[in-house]
Amino acid sequence: MEKIIARKREEELAGIRRRIWGFTLIAAVFLMLLTGHMSAYGAGGLEISTDYPGISVMPGDSLSIDLNLENTTGSGLDADVSISSLPEGWEGYLQGGSYQVSQVHVNSGAEGAQLTLHVTVPDELTEGTYQATVQASAGDGIQDSLTISFMVNQVNAGQGSFTSEYPEQEGPSGTTFSFSTTLINNGLKTQSYSLSSNAPAGWSVSFTPSGETTNVAGIEVEPGNSQGLNVSVEPPEGVEAGEYDISCSAVSADETLSTDLKVVITGTYGLTVSTPDGRLSFDAYANQESDLTLDVTNTGNVDLQNISLTSSLPTGWTATFDLEENMITSLPAGNTTQVIVHVTPDSDAITGDYVASFTASCDETSASADFRVSVKTSTVWGVVAILVIICTVGGVGYVFRKYGRR
């Protein structure tokens, strides 16, 4: 009986040992398979990376993006590289060293390999996000891909801008017009702009940075920044009334910007002060009123209103005009009106030449004329002097005749 029990225990132990060996064998096979899989795929691989996976671009840009390939398989390998996808109309290629490449040797470890992705953006591009994918493969499941996003938004998709807050101004001839403009660089790099205009012949146009006094022919604007510019427009003398268009341009290596200005010449204003015979001289006597006729002429093509007359005289002299409040209320274009001015030299004025100035002025324009005034001795005083002399001589003669013989 004891032998039977012992035999059964031995059989049970043998069965337990067989099951343990079976489980052990299965585990060993599983570990071998797992180790082999990790050796082929998990223990080593290929990775593509870049420091700038998302980039803002502008139409027409040519980009160069550095790529890094890292090999973690433990040994060097040759990998096929390609641009697996690129937006329609875009162009690109991969460069290694100085060559365009389709295969590259990737050393093991951090050294890896370096590539450059060259991309050309189309000139015409709508707002949105575009993607390009670069792929590297060394076979046996060792592969990786990298997707780079190119963002085109409203700011960098369009060109910069050159604008004026008030692009149209009006005024008479002789006015210098000043336009405040803003030049904006919407790009991602500094732009150097050359400034110019297509003003009509004889017109003068100059550009001055805001807050400065020096005229410039060009200016640099940092990316994303704006620059204020004062555009000074001076029409030629005697320009006719009408509308004049002036286009100003800011040209850089990447873009041409322009702003259209308009000047409206409302008319030509002009006055002259002279005499009917054109002489600018007259005679006068001390403390005596002398009359002078002035011709005031509107030489412009616009009627003038409220022209005031004033004088600048030597000390002690006076002048009055035959006008109410010394003012010409209206003077049509091209017309002349005559004004009488009464000039009285000072009572102590001695014989000699003096200067008297007469000015006609209104809100739009003014003119003046300088006259040479010759002050002469009065005839009455000359006669008096002669009589005094005669009386003196006669008195002396009478004295000699009466008392000379004694």
Single-letter code of the amino acid located at 84: S
The domain in which residue 5 lies consists of: 1-43
pLDDT at 17: 66
In this prediction the pTM is: 0.47
User: 157: which residues sit within 8 A by CB, 6+ positions away?
Assistant: 58, 59, 125, 126, 127
Total of domains in the chain: 4
The pLDDT of residue 205 is 97
Phi first, then psi: give them for residue 39, nearest 5 degrees.
-65, -40
For the chain, what is the mean pLDDT? 86
- Are 117 and 197 part of one and the same domain? no
The residue out of 265, 292, 327 marking a domain boundary is: 265
Same domain, 292 and 194: no
CA distance 299 to 366: 11
pLDDT on residue 381 = 54
pLDDT score, position 239: 86
Q: What is the CATH number of the domain that holds 137?
A: 2.60.40.10
How many residues are recorded in the chain?
A: 406
370-393 pLDDT per residue, tens: 999 999 976 555 555 567 777 776
What is the amino acid identity at position 24?
T
Name the pLDDT band for 35 (thresholds 50, 70, 90).
Answer: very low
Give SS3 for 358: strand
If asked whether residues 145 and 217 sit together in one domain, one would say: no
Q: What are phi and psi of 388, to 5 degrees?
A: -60, -45
Residue 39 has pLDDT above 50, yes or no: no
Quote the CA–CA distance of 387 and 212 in Å, as a whole number.
76
State the pLDDT at residue 36.
40
Residues 255 and 287 in one domain: no
